[in-house]
Amino acid sequence: MNSAERIVPAALALCRSLGFEAGELPLSALIFHPEIRAICEENSCRNYSKSWACPPAVGTLEECRERCLGYAHFLLFSRAYVLEDSWDFQGMGEAHRDFQRQTDRLDEALGALGLPKPPLILSNEGCIRCKVCTWPASPCRFPEKLHPSLEGFGFLVSELAGAAGLSYRAKGGVTYFGAVLLPGEAGADTTEKESTKSY
Ligand code: SF4
């Protein structure tokens, strides 16, 4: 049985058991947009150069691309949260913390799949694990739990959602997204990555 038959369905089932919507998209659908990195650098989200999970700490766009292409499968997952209104910043903060907790649970559960190497998990909007990040003075306190930013890798989340068949926006709320990159079975053919688009 190959990884697409064993690992992918098991990982999708784990995502869904944790309350995520989830879908797979082919590596050939991944586009690493320099324009999204440029938006990071404008720092409208105020996360740029604030943690190990965001640029510039995540490396250049080419390094992000190479990191992704070291895997065989890309799964997108999301969870929608209801807010009182678009000014419900407390609700947004709670939703983000819940999304991070559930993503941590997914990370732990994936460990039970016996993968040949650890998955790479990406998440929305940087890292909020510590009150004050160690960046850039010293290494991340929890490197094994570090889930870099999807946007920091140059991904346009609405584009990924469309390709994976997930809804992008929840009415009256906010939707957070993450991704899991999974290795193939040891020795499996990964030639799919040769056709991947890039800049
Ligand atoms: S886990 Fe802590 S030290 Fe590491 S990136 Fe997140 S906030 Fe920074």
Residue 141 Cβ inside 6 Å of ligand 1? The answer reads yes
Neighbours of 16 (CB within 10 A): 12
Closest CA to 58 of 131, 120, 132, 128: 120
Tell me the per-residue pLDDT of 29-39, one tens digit each, with 9 for 90 and over.
Answer: 999 999 999 99
What pLDDT is stored for residue 74 in this prediction? Answer: 98
pLDDT of residue 168: 86
Give the tens place of pLDDT for each residue, 55-71. 999 999 999 999 999 99
**CA–CA–CA angle 5, 79, 150 (5° rounding):** 75
134 lines ligand 1 (CB under 6 A): yes
pTM metric for this prediction: 0.89
Task: Ligand 1 pocket test: pick from 107, 121, 142 the residue with the most ligand atoms within 8 Å of its Cβ.
Answer: 142
Nearest CA to ligand 1 atom 4: 140
